[in-house]
Amino acid sequence: MTDDPMKHDVEQAGRDLLARFMDALNAHDAAGMDACLHFPHMRIGNGRVDVWERPGHNPMDMFERLKREDGWHSSTWDDIRLIQWGPLKTHFTLDFTRYREDGSVIGVYETLCILVFRDGRWGMQARSSYGP
C-alpha cells in the first residue's frame, strides 16, 4: 500500500468486494455472486468469451461440474495485487487455489479482474483467467 489515500481507499474497496465474491462462491450463492458484479459481465477463459447480460445469467451448473470433474469443495484467493487504479476503474491480478473437501489442491490459477465504480458501488465488470 502507498501513502496515497485515494489508492488506499480504492484498493480496500476492491479487496472487500473480492472477499464478498469468494464468500458467495464458496457458499454456492448465485445471488451473492451477482451482487458483486456489474452487467453485462464478461469472463474470458478456456478459449471462450462469455458475457452475462444481467443477474441470473451466471452459469451456476459450474458448481456441480467442478464437484463432478475435480471434487471441488472451495476456493481461496492466495494473492491479490492492485496493478492499475483510478477513481472509477481498477485492475487486480489474482492467484487462487481450488481445493477438495480433504484439503488437497486441485490447482492454482491466475486471473486479471477489472472492477468498475458505477451506480454508486464497485462491481466486477470483467475477468480473464488462465486455467479452468
**CATH code, domain with 19:** 3.10.450.50
First to last CA, the chain: 30
The domain tally of the chain equals 1
pLDDT value for 11: 96
The secondary structure of residue 103, as a DSSP letter, is S
Q: What is the rounded average pLDDT of the residues 31-45? A: 95
Tell me the residue range of the domain where 73 lies. 5-130
pLDDT at 3 over 90: no
Task: Give residue-wise pLDDT tens across range 83-121.
Answer: 999 999 999 999 999 999 999 999 999 999 999 999 999
Task: Give residue-wise pLDDT tens across range 44-75.
Answer: 988 889 899 999 877 667 777 778 888 899 99
Provide the phi-psi class of 88: left if phi over 0, else alpha when psi is between -120 and 50, else beta.
alpha
pLDDT at 132 over 60: no
Residue 94: alpha-carbon gap to chain centroid: 8
